[in-house]
Every structure is written in structure tokens, then in C-alpha cells.
Structure 1
Amino acid sequence: MLHKNEVNLSTADLDQSNGGITKKLKMYSKDKKTNEDKLELSDDFVNNEFRDTFRKIFCNESVEGTEEIYVYHDDKKRKYTVRNNEDNKSIENENQLKLGSVVGSPFKVGVLHDVFDKSFLCELKEELGNLEWRHRSNDLYDFYQTDDLTVTCGEHVKNVQKLYGYLSSDDFISFMETISNTKLVRNRLDLAAQQYKHGGYLLCHDDSITGEKLRRKIAYILYLVEEDWNESDGGCLGLFSKDENNQPISVVKKLVPNFNTLAFFVTGKSSYHEVQEVLRKDGINRWSVTGWFYENVENTEELLKNEFPSEFTSIYDIIPKSHPLQSISLGFDTLPDEIKDGSDLLGYFINKDYLDGTSQQRILDNFLENSSIELKKFLKDNIYKELVKQLCSSENFASVWKKYPVLPPIVRKYYLIDENKYPTRDSKKGTDVADAVLKFFKSTEFSNYLTSITNLDFVKSSQEVRMFNKGCYTLIHDKVIEPEGLDVVFSFMGLKDSTDGSESKGETQWNSEKWDGGTHYIFEEDELLTIEPDHNTLSLVFRTEETKRFVKMVKSDSQFPRCEINMVFIEQ
């Protein structure tokens, strides 16, 4: 998939989930009599038996677990053994060294262990630390990255050049071809370094990019994390299962980064993965050097055609269906009695400060000038409190929202309201405020109010009630095009920790600086507008088809979810 804002970095961040380094293998050659600075694979790796064993496992579709390849030397003889890491059997020989691993499912991931001498990697990391790092942040990711390391030169980056020279050499590319059973081009390798700080991440994607003559074939990563890095530090590689349409479903395997391992996989339909949010808070970042090997391609058009099902958006109901506007008083038996009696409908729901003529003219002038406006404290206070109680309180939360997020994660991850389960009519009060608010927002009466403050005339609208918890987001996708219209989004939220089953007291204001979760509007590469989550706020934004929007991923530091009623009103 070609993501509009994807940068040139490897998104393969992978490693073994079952522990750290067993023993050190020296792969950094320092033969002072010949070539003092030459990098090369040790004989254990280039041995035909290792290469053949690794390839057979890597290309065996029946392998689902993780297979590990060990070597030990006895009387000058080299012996290789294969072990499933899920077996509880102890290692037969304590002198065995783990050379390689292959993760079988949901797609093959190869890992070479203890690839280089530690002193070389320390020098490499020091050089990288002295380079310029750029903050990369959009809908898909948030991390720091160097410029293209393939063109970096000078004495101050001699180890960077050494690494690039070796990885792009015919010897190493031939080795990669052998163990992965692929055919790779020479003289083309991408190389860059990344740091993921606390809160950094890279969301679901597949690394597959195809050009006119070349396409990414193998994504690789060299881990430079601290040797004590573990799963609780975050930054794991999440591997996604996929459905019958070859689209990702959820993470079914997590691989923890380990220092001095080189990991790789073949890109394509099955390689959906993410770098999970880094949780470590001691100032130690998740370091890596990443890139891709390439292959020649023919019939590029056919490759791109088969990447997504033609009915992609309709299969997953990605764009909510629009429906004709309807009067709120017709056929809604759960409405408050006051509304049925014909009393002032707008005055029942909306803060009176937004209803007089002078205020509406002020709103209209502002909207015409900026094509957007935010109306704080939009609903009357009693209505808003009851809405939050019904949809966000701890006693109702689990039953109100669906258990699983919407699919697919290459486009979105958030939770929808379960319209069959949220609180029904209160027999004592005779009112279901949540139901009434939702019906009001898609009524002709509310549409007419919008017309008075925007000068736009609407005939239909869509509505989606959604909740963004930790790790939730939406992404821009070249196959998903929202219809042009007026985005009308009502933002609301409850108390912090409202999903843990307790009536927790504390902060109730959204901290956008630490938690993200804002809605961003962009045109091509320019950011036009950001709307931050807030209590009881109605935002209006007129959006053309060329303008895209996304919700930035909600960070793990967030103390409570944010919710919204997301609507698009469409003109004739």
C-alpha cells in the first residue's frame, strides 16, 4: 500500500519475543594484516548448511511457530540444530550459539542474532547521535529520523559508510537472496536511522511500495536498542493477522526489539505490521537502522490493481451512509414529552447563547471568513451532563460501546456505539436524552439551524458515534475519499479512568500536548486546521474532496477516552 505521507524509512521493527542475547558472535572482522575495517559475515553464517537450513524454514508455509537455528563447534567440526522456541526442552549443548530465528505466523520474519561486534555498533551509534535528526509526524507515525545515510560521507561517519558498503555489497545481497529465496537488484539499498522517543509509534501498514521498474522486496532492521530493552518498554513490532480480503485484522504476534539483531521480511499483501508505542520514560530511546532491498518488476499496473479489493470502502463500511433529513417529531416514540408537545425544539437542546439573532450573525460571519468555527458549551448543561452519564459513566461504558474496534486498522481504529444496548428510555423521567440528542443532530430542525449559521442548504447527512481510547486513530488512505460537505462533530467525554469500573475523580480536561487525539485537516502537505477534543463542543468545518482529515493516535498516557458524534451534512 502506498500511504500518501509515508517517508523513506523501514517500518520493519522486529525481533525475538523470548529473551535477550545468548552468546556473542563476532562478525566484525579486524584482520590487521589484510583489511582492518572490513565487515563480513562469520563462517557460521555463510556456511551452506546454515543458509540451506534457514531458507527451508523461511520458505516453508507450514511453519507457524518460531524456529531457532543453533550452532556449536566440537573438535573443529560445526554442527547446526533446529529448535522450536515454544518447546520446553532445554538446549542440548550449553556451548550452542543462536544464529537465526524464523517467525512463522502470521507471516515469515527472519532474524539473524549477534550480527556485528558490539564495539562497532557502539561506535556506529555514537556517529549517528552526532547527525541531524528530523521529527517525522503525521497520521501514520511519530518518531525522529536521520537523512538518507546512503549519501552521507566524511570521516565523522566512517562506520555509517562501512555499514552501508557492506549491506549493499554483492556478498551480502547474495546471502540475503539465498536465505529468503528472492531475487534482489544490486546498486539499490535504502538506509536510515530512527529514534522512537516516549510516545513514538508507527501504525499499521505493509511496507509495500511499487515504482515503475522497482518495488520494495525485503524490509530489514538492525536494532540498536539498549541491551536491557524489554516488552514493558513498548516499541514492539506487532504482526497483524488478515481476513479473506487480505486486509489486516489485529495484532496476533508481538516481537520485542533486541540489541544487535538483524531482522527482515518480504513485503507484500501479508506483511501488515506496526511499531507499537514506546512506553519507556527514562529518556532512553528506541534506536534502529532500517531500509529495504529491491527487486525488478514488470506489469506494475497489475500489481497495484490487485493490492486492494475494488469494493474496499463498501466492504468495511468505511464511509458512513448518508440519509435524508427527517423531522425529529416524526415517528420517535422515545423523545421527551416537551418536544412532542411542540415547545421550542432548539431551545430544549442548545445553549441559549447560540440562539439569538445577533449571536447567529456573528457565527455566520466567522464561518464565512474561516470556513470553520467551534461552538463551546453547545448543548444546555443539563442535557450534556445526562448525555455523558448515559454514554461515558463507568456503570454504562462497557455496555454502551462495542467490544471490538472497527476494521481495517490500515484506515482506522476506534469503537462504535452499540445502538442496541445503550441506555433506553428512563421510565421515571420519561426521557432517553442520548437517543434524543442523536436524533436531534440528524433532524431537519437541526439542519435548518446549521443553514442559518453557515448559509449552506443541506439535503442529507451521515452520523457515526465513536469513542477513541488509548491507541485509537484514523488514517488518510488513497482508496478512501470522503464526500465533500460540512463536517459537524460534537465532542464529549467523561471522567478519567471511566472504563475501569470505578467512579474516579480527577482531571476531566483533555491534554492535547501529551495525549494527542486531535483532528487534523490537511491539503496535500500543508496542515490547515487542528481541532482538539473538548467537553460539549460543536465544531463545523467545510471540507472539499481535496481536503483530508485524520484523528491523531491517542497516546497511552491519556487518562480517559474521548468521544464524538461525527456527522457530515451534504448539500444538494
Structure 2
Amino acid sequence: MSFYMIDFSEKIIEILFRDNITGRRYFYLELDCHPFPHCIIKNFLGSKTFVENLQRELMELNFHEKSNDLYKFKQSDDLKKRTEPHISGLRAALFGRFRSWLGEVLQVELEPVVDISCARYEYTDVLLCHDDELEGRRVAFILYLVPPWQSSDGGTLDLYTTDSNFHPQSIVKSLVPSLNTLVLFEVSPVSFHQVSEVLTRDKCRLSLSGWFHGPSLERPPRHRGPPVPRSPHLPRDETLLLEWVNPVYLDIAYQEQIQEEFEDSSEIQLKDFLKEEKFKEVKEALRLTQIQWTKRGPPNKRCYDAASLNTLPQCVSACWELLCSEAFFLLLSNFTGLRLHYLCPADDDDDDDDDDENKDEEKKDAEATGSSTKSPSSANASREKELSTPVCCGELRRWSHGGYTLLHDAEASRAEYALDLVLPFCGADWQSEFGGFTCYVANEEDEELLTVYPEDNSLALVYRDKETLKFVKHVNHESLSDSDNSFTCREFYDFSFVYYE
């Protein structure tokens, strides 16, 4: 077998493979260097019967549900030891003669490592933006074994451009799956891609994929953006709580009950947290066109809209101030036992307070708004012991079809003890099947520790340690409402804050 370059003048180079004796054409290879080098080989397998038998063997495999921050699909076990004739035959060809040829083209000695599995993508399955980086991976491949497929079915292989910091920017090319087509690309600092969400209910996107292994390309140092700015509380007193918060949560006895429950589980959801009329006012105002929304990225880390604070309607801005206020910091201290205010007792004061009858009496007389349960002299002592000023950071976010956040190395390395707060405005018709829920996982583990689903006016509080990370699950196609054959987008909003002692 030999190959001949046909056209050097165009961006896309076609390479024609022919048998030297018969002259029979086997396939075309299309090579494109934008946005990063990749090639497409159509009619990769010469026998239609072989393709059909390969499909049959693959569909008879056991598939496992795979779901985390980055993906949702079904995957087979590793195929390197499967003995079915067509699976083993393809494996031998790929990692034998084809690997040798590929190594010659790249002028790289590819290792005889077999790395191949089968994936089934069905309705709402997706693989979000990533670069395939892992030690030893040199060239990625995908062999499509799909029924007739259109771009409207989703499941395209989307390729991203990158900026000067090697962050993905935007999709500039989408490859529609096609039966018996092989796609190859070199794993590099710029090889960001995704499998877009499958939108058809009637088809299965079946593919074989894996990597040819060899010496990894040199990677530049990872660029880390500046940390999110944090601010101390705003000087607002308890009148703000009285105006906004459901009175039941201002009862000191109920606050004690909440704190006991929170300390047992490190999380709690406080339903009907805002007064009903205030919640409705904010919910209606969030849909006003005056709010300017900015897409948050890069797509290998996050994708959602964040509000520009200087464009918020007055009631929404007031709700933001509530969550940043000194009174609210103190209320959170009473809910959680965390030291988010100097009036909150330090850990080493708690035991002394248990034996102090005077402080018990002061506790009974405390204001329903969450006033200090300590005497002025004790508060002064706590202030002297204060090691740091409690701070917070926050966003007002809009979630719609395609929104998500991903776990990433920078987040893991910067992980801290923190209190997360989410206050959703989502509507009664938002279902868990749509996505948009927040998952907490242990660092480097897939197992979910906790899932928090968006629920109207339900304040979620979660305390996490340095080994706990969080992500928001991809909002899928189910979130679109089909009305008179015209899809409309459901969306929801939330205030997302993080508080640090």
C-alpha cells in the first residue's frame, strides 16, 4: 500500500491510498490543521460485511453507565483482551500495521500499548470540553459505527480554538459522525474538543475510541487566572433580615435546631427562606431585559451566564446586599456554628459558655434577629482572638440549556474550608432530569458525596473541606419545552455565594 499527496495548495490535504498492484482505491484521508491538526479517513474498513459484524459484536457487549462532571454516556470494558473475531481483528489491524504507518508519518515511535473501548451515546448523553491530556497519550482516534446521522441529531465532534494562554475559546468546526469513518488527532496543549449532546431519541451513536501511546508533547505551564475577589460584609443591620427573611428563621430557638442539624451533616436546605412577597418580586425582576448577562468560561471549566451587578433592578440588588450584609454573616454563624462574625463564639469559648449560667440567661434574652449570645466583655475577648476577617464572594447566575461547571486542577489545588450558599429561583416545573444540580465529590473520586437540587426559595448551605470539590451538572435537552413543535428554553437563576471564616 502506498499513498500520494494530491493537493498542497488548500488548507485541507487529501491523501489517496491505493494498492500498488491493482490500483484499487481504499480510502481518502483529509488532513486539516485548523484549529489543530486532525484527519478524517472515510470508508476506513474495506468490507461492508466486516463493519456490520463488528457493529453486532459491539452491541452485544456489556455497557456501564458513566456520569460525572465531564460526561454522561455508556462505555464497554477495555477491549484489549476481547476474543470476538471482528473486535480482535480490528484491534490487531489498528495497533499493528496502522500504528506502524502512523508512527512513520509522525516520525514518532508509537508504543505497542493497546488502549481501546466502545462508547454508546444516546439521548442527552454528552462529553464536554477537554483536551485528552494524560501521560503517554499521543494520538486519539474515533471510529464511528453509526446509522445515517445528521448534525441536527447532535453528537458532533466539536473542535475549539484556543487563546494565548492555551484556554479553549469557541467551536470553529463540527464533525458529523459517519459510518465507517475514522478520525485522528494528536493530543496536544490545544486539542480541545467535545462530543456535543445527542439530541435524537431514535439513534445510538456507537463508536470505538482510544489512544496510540508515545512520548507526550511538551506542555507549557498552566495559566491560572487571578483568584476571585473576596469582600468583608457590608455594614447592614438586622432591619434587613426583618425585611427579607421568613420570620421562622429569625427565631433563636429554631436557629439552635438548625445548627444542631447542620453540625451533624455539614449541610442543610432551608425551605421558603425569603418572605414570599420578596421572593416573587425578585423572581419577576430577574427576567427583565435591563440585566446584562456575560457568558462565563473558558468552556473546559464552566459555561453559564453571570449578571453584571451594576445592571440589577433595585429589588435584586437589595437581595444581593442581604447576602453580603453583616447581619446575614451573623445569621449564618448561628445557623452553622462557623465563626463568620466576631460575635460568634470561638471554639475554645464554647465549653466555658456551657458552664456559665449568666451566659445561658443572656442566650434566653437574645434578639430574635440573631443578636449576640455573649456578653460585651466576652465579645471583646473574641475580637482579640480573631485571626482573620470573614469574607465572601458571590455571583448571580443564569442557567439554561448547555450550562455546566467542571472540576479542574486549579480548583483542586486552591481548595479551602468554605461555606457554600445557593438560593435558586427556578419555578415549579424545573425537574432533576434537566440537570443544573450541584454535586459534591471527594477530590480524585467519582463517587458523589452530596447532590443539591435547585428548588424555589430553598436556601442550600454546604460546608466543605479541602478534599471536597463541587460542580454543576450539564443542563440537557430535556430542559427545553416543546410547545406547538417550537422549542422554548426553560431557565433558572441562583445566587451563589461562598463564605470563608
Question: Aligned AA for 2:270?
Answer: L
Tell me if structure 2 keeps the 8 A contact 1:463–1:568.
Answer: yes
Counterpart selection for 2:89 from 159, 162, 185: 162
Deviation, 1:348, is: 0.7
Distance 1:178 1:271 in 2: 21
Cα offsets for 1:16-72 (capped at 9, x unmatched): xxxxxxxxxxxxxxxxxxxxxxxxxxxxxx3232xxx28x96xxxx965x4445689
Structure 2 residue 155 is the aligned partner of structure 1 residue 235: yes
Structure 1 match to 2:166 = 246
Structure 2 match to 1:89 = none
Structure 1 match to 2:80 = 150
Distance 2:48 2:435 in 1: 37
> 1:414 and 1:293, CA in 2 relative to 1: closer, same or farther beyond 3 A?
same
Structure 2 residue 140 is the aligned partner of structure 1 residue 219: yes
Aligned-pair identity (%)? 33
Tell me if structure 2 keeps the 8 A contact 1:320–1:464.
Answer: no
Structure 1 match to 2:331 = 449
Question: Aligned AA for 1:201?
Answer: V
What count of residue pairs does the alignment treat as equivalent? 437
Question: Aligned AA for 2:121?
Answer: Y
Q: Secondary structure at the match of 2:160?
A: strand
Deviation, 1:166, is: 1.0
Distance 2:128 2:254 in 1: 42
Distance 2:120 2:243 in 1: 52
Tell me if structure 1 keeps the 8 A contact 2:127–2:197.
Answer: yes
Question: Aligned AA for 1:419?
Answer: L
Distance 1:128 1:76 in 2: 33
Question: Aligned AA for 2:439?
Answer: H
Distance 1:376 1:448 in 2: 19
Q: Secondary structure at the match of 1:374?
A: strand
Distance 1:357 1:208 in 2: 52
Counterpart selection for 1:414 from 260, 282, 304: 304
Spell out the pairing of 1:196-211 with structure 2 (5 A cutoff).
196-210=121-135
Deviation, 1:243, is: 0.8
- TM-score, length-scaled by structure 2: 0.82
Deviation, 1:307, is: 4.4
> 1:263 and 1:150, CA in 2 relative to 1: closer, same or farther beyond 3 A?
same
Structure 2 residue 489 is the aligned partner of structure 1 residue 569: no
Distance 2:27 2:137 in 1: 29
Structure 2 residue 22 is the aligned partner of structure 1 residue 140: no
> 1:217 and 1:545, CA in 2 relative to 1: closer, same or farther beyond 3 A?
same
Cα offsets for 1:168-199 (capped at 9, x unmatched): 11x211222344x2413242121100000100
Tell me if structure 1 keeps the 8 A contact 2:3–2:17.
Answer: no
Distance 2:479 2:173 in 1: 25
Tell me if structure 1 keeps the 8 A contact 2:234–2:321.
Answer: no
Cα offsets for 1:216-265 (capped at 9, x unmatched): 11100110011x21101000011111111111011111110111011100
Question: Aligned AA for 1:553?
Answer: H
Question: Aligned AA for 1:436?
Answer: A
Question: Aligned AA for 2:494?
Answer: E
> 1:182 and 1:387, CA in 2 relative to 1: closer, same or farther beyond 3 A?
farther
Range that drifts further, 344-353 or 377-386 = 344-353
Counterpart selection for 1:487 from 412, 415, 420: 420
Distance 2:465 2:473 in 1: 20
Distance 2:27 2:55 in 1: 24
Structure 2 match to 1:402 = 293
Structure 2 residue 269 is the aligned partner of structure 1 residue 379: no
Cα offsets for 1:457-506 (capped at 9, x unmatched): 12111111111211111111112234321111111135xxxxxxxxxxxx
Structure 2 match to 1:120 = 50
Distance 2:111 2:291 in 1: 56
Structure 2 residue 105 is the aligned partner of structure 1 residue 190: no
Structure 2 residue 99 is the aligned partner of structure 1 residue 99: no
Distance 1:184 1:266 in 2: 14
Distance 1:387 1:482 in 2: 32
Tell me if structure 2 keeps the 8 A contact 1:485–1:568.
Answer: yes
Structure 2 match to 1:29 = none
Q: Secondary structure at the match of 1:383?
A: helix
Counterpart selection for 1:554 from 452, 456, 475: 475
Tell me if structure 1 keeps the 8 A contact 2:270–2:458.
Answer: yes
> 1:544 and 1:71, CA in 2 relative to 1: closer, same or farther beyond 3 A?
closer
Deviation, 1:353, is: 2.0
Structure 2 match to 1:465 = 396
Tell me if structure 1 keeps the 8 A contact 2:31–2:38.
Answer: yes
Structure 2 match to 1:545 = 466
Tell me if structure 2 keeps the 8 A contact 1:509–1:534.
Answer: no
Structure 2 match to 1:47 = 2
Spell out the pairing of 1:327-366 with structure 2 (5 A cutoff).
327-328=235-236, 344-366=239-261
Structure 1 match to 2:233 = 325
Distance 2:441 2:16 in 1: 51
Deviation, 1:325, is: 1.3
Tell me if structure 1 keeps the 8 A contact 2:3–2:15.
Answer: no
Distance 2:457 2:107 in 1: 56
Structure 2 match to 1:30 = none
Structure 1 match to 2:225 = 313
Cα offsets for 1:521-561 (capped at 9, x unmatched): 01142311000011111111111111011101110221411
CA-based RMSD: 2.3
Structure 1 match to 2:98 = 172
Distance 1:409 1:307 in 2: 19
Cα offsets for 1:90-113 (capped at 9, x unmatched): xxxxxx986121233111210111
Distance 2:18 2:468 in 1: 60
Q: Secondary structure at the match of 2:478?
A: coil
Cα offsets for 1:267-289 (capped at 9, x unmatched): 1111000000000112x210000
Unaligned runs of 5+ in 2: 341-389, 481-489
Tell me if structure 2 keeps the 8 A contact 1:68–1:98.
Answer: no
Distance 1:307 1:470 in 2: 33
Distance 1:148 1:252 in 2: 32
Structure 2 match to 1:389 = 284
Distance 2:491 2:185 in 1: 35
Q: Secondary structure at the match of 2:499?
A: strand
Structure 2 residue 184 is the aligned partner of structure 1 residue 289: no
Tell me if structure 2 keeps the 8 A contact 1:248–1:408.
Answer: yes
Tell me if structure 2 keeps the 8 A contact 1:269–1:307.
Answer: no
